[in-house]
Amino acid sequence: MKILSIETSCDDTGITIMEATGGITNASFKVLADSSNSQIKLHIPFGGVYPALAKREHAKNLPILLEEVLKQSKLDKKAPTPKGVGVPTASVGNEAPVDLIAVTYGPGLEMCLWEGIVFAKELAKKWDIPLMPVDHMEGHACSVFGKKNEKGKGKFNVPKIQMPALALLVSGGHTQLVLSKKWMQYEIIGETLDDAVGEAFDKVARMMGLPYPGGPEISKLAEEERIKEKEALSAFSFTLPRPMLHTKNFDFSYSGLKTAVLYMLQKIGPVENISEEIKKKIALEFENAAIECLVYKTSKAIEKYKIKTLLVGGGVSCNAHLQREIKKITKGKVKLFVPDRNLSGDNSLMIGIAGYLEFIKNKKKVPKPETIKATGNLKL
Ligand code: KG4
Ligand code: ZN
């Protein structure tokens, strides 16, 4: 069946069309078209995502992306009628080019989620096809299976996963350890009590005068310093805290670590005067602390629950240090899945995978469209 998936939970607008076959343990996907729009540049002046602006951009971009994916997939049988911003149904015909629509309904910024949901509802009504609401975090967990090239095409299977499985989901809004004793059943066994790890990267970067999003910036500085550190012992040496590292649960905390960086920066002096060299050292120690907490708790959870498969997803999953350290704790013991670099951040392809699997799992039953609501704090 053909599935069209939509993602608008934060600052990325995405629409993907895939052909999907098979059951929940042997699904196969072919990406027919994929188009997205990142709003990063627009939000840079605000130092983070500005929700009202993000919402407006989603409204503007959804009809454009829809037309693009219909064209790319050669499914635009009907000649488009006049377009209008935010009016999806004006530009597409009544004949359904796909069999199912999947849309992110949470967690995320509610005003952004609504843009995708309303758009999806209109399309589903016009085409008279089912609409499947998808949890963004399930999407991140499923992103590890996806494949797409720069032209937005690709083919991939969802392999049979050895259970129990664990997902480490790390993004700008979430830091979670999710246990699956059975495939597609989720239990959150640990999560952050305050800031998400990606959020901590972003905030620390901002304090150091680095642009949004801060994760890749900090990571770049830390990697440069990491190579040097191996060669010479640093004159400016300090340690940052590893909050909750040895607590018996699987929870995390990142706000204390962020504050520790703030105090340290205040001691050193105005940020404009802090040299690149010192910034690199801070970035390295911050990254070491942030990642150590993730990896240590993950290794403890692997031990406790006798985990056979680990999936790592979310924007922070592309962090090079995290990937190296996670490989060390899983090597030879646990089958590890991480997303391709172009699928670690928010994307609509992962929503298509999760949407299809949920649709099959629910025996092709979907909720009534009027019951689908943006749910900012949705939990797996
Ligand atoms: O999953 P995502 O694209 O959006 C959310 O659902 O939040 O994650 C975005 C987060 C941002 O906080 C960003 O700074 C972080 O992922 N991130 C990174 C890296 N690349 C992106 N954090 C650390 N290292 C990276 N290389
Ligand atoms: Zn995300």
317 lines ligand 1 (CB under 6 A): no
What is the model's pLDDT at position 89?
59
pLDDT band at residue 79, thresholds of 50, 70 and 90?
A: very low
Establish whether residue 10 lines the binding site of ligand 1, counting it when its CB lies within 6 angstroms of any ligand atom: yes
Burial (CB count <10 Å: 0-12, 13-18, 19+), residue 376 = middle
Does the Cβ of 5 fall within 6 Å of ligand 1?
A: no
| Nearest listed ligand to the Cα of residue 213 | 1
As a whole-number percent, the residues of the chain with pLDDT over 90 amount to 84
Q: Identify the residue whose C-alpha is closest to ligand 1 atom 7.
A: 172
Q: Rounded to whole angstroms, how far apart are CA atoms 255 and 266? A: 17
Does residue 319's CB lie within 6 angstroms of at least one atom of ligand 1? yes
**Where is mean pLDDT largest: 76-85, 171-180, 233-242?**
171-180
Round the average pLDDT of the chain to a whole number and report it: 93
C-beta of 318 in contact with ligand 1 (< 6 A): yes
What is the predicted pLDDT for the residue at 29? 98
| Model pLDDT, residue 231 | 57
Q: What is the pLDDT of residue 46?
A: 86
**Alpha-carbon gap, residue 219 to 319, rounded angstroms:** 7
In sequence order, the β-bridge partners of residue 29 are 20, 156
Q: Ligand 2 centre from 17 Cα, in Å? A: 19
The phi and psi torsions of 254 (rounded to 5 degrees) equal -120, -5
The H-or-E segment that residue 264 falls in is: helix 255-268
pLDDT given for residue 37 in this prediction: 93
As a whole number of angstroms, the distance between CA 288 and CA 106 comes to 30
Q: Ligand 1 pocket test: which of 171, 347, 349, 350 has the largest number of ligand atoms within 8 Å of its C-beta?
A: 171
Q: Which ligand is nearest to the CA of 173?
A: 1
CA distances from 146 to 151, 339, 346 (A): 14, 7, 13
Atom of ligand 1 nearest to the CA of 11: 4
Residue pair 301/311 in contact (Cβ under 8 Å)? The answer is no
Contacts of 324 by beta carbon, 8 Å cutoff, 6+ apart: none
Mean pLDDT, residues 61-67 taken together: 96
pLDDT computed for residue 44 by the predictor: 85
Percentage of the chain lying above the pLDDT 70 cut: 94
Q: Tell me, using a 6 A CB cutoff, whether residue 139 lines ligand 1.
A: no
**Is residue 85 over pLDDT 60?**
no
Rounded mean pLDDT, 121-134: 97
Query: Whose C-alpha lies nearest to ligand 1, atom 23?
Result: 215
Q: Does residue 173 have its Cβ closer than 6 Å to ligand 1?
A: yes
Ligand 1 in reach of 243 Cβ (< 6 A): no
Both tokens of residue 207? 């304090």
Q: Is the pLDDT of residue 196 over 70?
A: yes
Nearest ligand to residue 351 Cα: 2
DSSP readout, 30-47? EEEEEEEEE-HHHHGGGT
**Whole-number pLDDT of residue 48:** 83
pLDDT given at position 76: 81
Which atom of ligand 1 is least distant from the CA of 220? 26
Q: Which of 34-43, 91-100, 136-145 has the highest mean pLDDT?
A: 136-145
Check pocket membership of 8 for ligand 1, CB cut-off 6 A: no
pLDDT digits (tens, 9 = 90+) for 276-319: 999 999 999 999 999 999 999 999 999 999 999 999 999 999 99
Strands in the chain per DSSP E: 2-7, 12-21, 28-38, 100-106, 131-135, 154-157, 165-170, 175-180, 187-191, 309-313, 335-337
314 lines ligand 1 (CB under 6 A): yes
Question: Which atom belonging to ligand 1 lies closest to the Cα atom of 12?
Answer: 3
Whether the per-residue pLDDT at 83 is higher than 60: the answer is no
What amino acid occupies position 332?
A: G
* Residue nearest (by alpha carbon) to ligand 1 atom 1: 315
- pLDDT of the residue at 175: 98
Contact partners, residue 251, CB within 8 Å, separation at least 6: 190, 191, 192, 193, 244, 297
Nearest ligand 1 atom to the CA of 140 is 1
* Res 93: pLDDT: 81
Give the mean pLDDT of 193-220: 96
Torsion angle of the four alpha carbons 322, 284, 255, 49, in this order, in degrees rounded to the nearest 10: -80
Report the pLDDT averaged over residues 341-362.
97
Query: 92 pLDDT exceeds 90?
Result: no
